[in-house]
Amino acid sequence: MLQRNLFQIEEQTAWDDLGNGIMRKIYGYDDSIMLVKAKFEAKAVGALHEHHHSQVTYVDSGVFEMTIGENKCIIKKGDGYYVPPHEVHGCVCIEPGILIDVFTPLRADFLK
Amino acid sequence: MLQRNLFQIEEQTAWDDLGNGIMRKIYGYDDSIMLVKAKFEAKAVGALHEHHHSQVTYVDSGVFEMTIGENKCIIKKGDGYYVPPHEVHGCVCIEPGILIDVFTPLRADFLK
């Protein structure tokens, strides 16, 4: 799997509506990595879940209450977090915004 | 190697001054992935280089002229790009801003 466009341009990339106030755009990826932009409305909930991928995230905008395992933290624009493989994590959006989620390896399930 | 803080908070994370108008903060990482925040002054140049890591980048702010192999593109806040392993790439900062660079595997050289 490989992103055919080396450059991902905001206005040329469509949002995928996941429902419940969450939308997603897929940016760069290959078999080993994937960058995804996730937009949340206020009060939208990223339900607790886990996956075998390591994840690093950067907060592009907004405010979120983030849970990773037993840890909770309020994060805002400019902050970030790390999720180890199989660690349960989720978020509640406090002020609308965008998370930049990056996974290794590829989230092949996002390309279906 | 592992980032000991699950959460990376902007004001609590120091910039590392790389010189020539470029500063860096290291965010989440483990052996398989690393997220890095790179701040550029106007006219700062990210010299052409290559590495074995796959790289995905998100433009947090600013405007950049990006080169990946034979391809050039002007990118701005909200855009992104993908760099295949060993592909030569570099940038010139047109308006000051921040790139969110994510690598797989870990950029162990950044932790020295």
Chain A residues touching B7 at Cβ < 8 A: 66, 68, 71, 73, 75, 79-81
| A53-92 residues touching B, CB cutoff 8 A | 54-58, 60, 66, 68-69, 71, 73, 75-84
Nearest CB partner across the interface for B28, out of A27, A33, A56? A56
Structure tokens at B98: 């921040």
pLDDT at residue B27 in the model? 97
Give the residue-averaged pLDDT of B4-15: 93
* Start-to-end C-alpha separation, chain B: 12
Closest approach of A42 to chain B, Cα-based (Å): 20
pLDDT at residue A77 in the model? 98
**How does pLDDT run across A15-30, given as a tens digit for each residue?**
999 999 999 999 999 9
Q: Interface pTM (ipTM) of the complex? A: 0.96
E-strand spans in chain A?
Answer: 7-8, 16-19, 22-30, 33-40, 45-49, 54-68, 71-76, 80-83, 89-104
Answer whether residue B4 shows pLDDT above 90: no
**How does pLDDT run across A41-70, given as a tens digit for each residue?**
999 999 999 999 999 999 999 999 999 999
Q: Note if the pTM is more than 0.95.
A: yes
- For residue A112, what pLDDT band results from cuts at 50, 70 and 90? confident
Distances (CA, A) of B79 to A99, B47, B58: 14, 20, 6
| Structural domains of chain A ordered from first start | 21-104 (2.60.120.10)
Nearest CB partner across the interface for B35, out of A9, A37, A58? A58
The answer to whether residue B10 neighbours chain A at the CB level (below 8 Å) is yes
Give the residue-averaged pLDDT of B64-74: 97
Closest approach of B59 to chain A, Cα-based (Å): 9
Count the Cβ atoms, other than its own, within 10 Å of residue A43. 11
CB contact under 8 A, A102 and B78: no
Closest approach of B42 to chain A, Cα-based (Å): 20
**Which of B74, B76, B29 shows the shortest CA–CA distance to B53?**
B29
pLDDT at residue B2 in the model? 72
**How does pLDDT run across A79-100, given as a tens digit for each residue?**
999 999 999 999 999 999 999 9
Please enumerate, as own/partner, the contacts of B20-25 that have beta carbons within 8 Å and a separation of 24 or more. Answer: B20/B44, B20/B45, B21/B93, B22/B46, B24/B110
- Does residue B47 contact residue B95 with C-beta atoms inside 8 Å? no
| Mean predicted lDDT score pLDDT of chain B | 96
Closest approach of B25 to chain A, Cα-based (Å): 11
